[in-house]
Amino acid sequence: MTMLILRHCGGFVAALSMAMLAGGCAYSFTGASVPAHLKTVAIPLVDDQSGFGEPGLREKFTTEIVQLFTADNSLEVSDRNTADSIIEGAIISISDAPAVVSQGELVTRRRVTVSARFTFQDKKLRKKVWEKTFSNWGDYDSGGGLSQRQAGLQEAMKKIAEDVLLETVSGW
C-alpha cells in the first residue's frame, strides 16, 4: 500500500514539476518586450504645473525615474540629442488631505496624492508610443512636519516612477 501511494505521489510530483518548468520558461520580466531598435531613453527634467510650491520637487521626481530606469537596465539613460526614445512628464496636481481621523476628530495621518502626465516617444520611428496620466499616494504622520510630508511625497513619486517604468518596458 505504501509503495502504491509513493508511486502515485511521485507521478503527481513529476507532473507538477513539468507544468512548473513549462510555465516558467514562457515569462520574462526585464525588457523582453522593448523593441530591439530602442536601446536608449532620455528623461528630461519633469515639469511642475501643480502650483504646490514644493522646492526641488522636479529634480527629486526626475532623479527617482532615472534611478529606476538605470537599475532596470532595459533602456540605457542617455542624452536627449542622442537617445532613441524620450520620456517627458509633468506633475499636474498634488493634494494633501487627512487620511486617518481618530477619536475627537484628531487627524493622525495625512495622504499626499500626486498626479502626473507622461508621454513616451520613439524618436527613431517618430511616433508617440503612449501618453498617460498616473496618480498615486503616500501617507505620513500628521504631527511630523514638513520632513514627514516630504517622505509622503517621495513615496507617491516612487510609485508613479515604477508605473512609468512598467508602462514603458511592458506596454508594447
- What does the mean pLDDT of the chain come to? 84
Domain ranges of the chain: 39-170
Residue 159 has pLDDT above 70, yes or no: yes
Angle between helices 146-170 and 57-72 (to 10 degrees): 40
- Provide CATH code, domain 39-170: 3.40.50.10610
Residue 172 confidence class, pLDDT cut points 50, 70, 90: low
pLDDT recorded at residue 102: 81
Residue 7 confidence class, pLDDT cut points 50, 70, 90: very low
C-alpha cell of residue 95: 493634494
Q: Which of 23-27, 64-68, 109-113, 130-134 has the lowest mean pLDDT?
A: 23-27
Tell me if 150 sits within 8 A of 56, measured CB to CB: no
For the stretch 14-68, pLDDT in tens is 443 433 334 443 333 444 578 999 999 999 999 999 999 899 999 999 999 999 9
Q: How many helices (H) and strands (E) does the chain have?
A: 3, 6
Residue 171 confidence class, pLDDT cut points 50, 70, 90: low
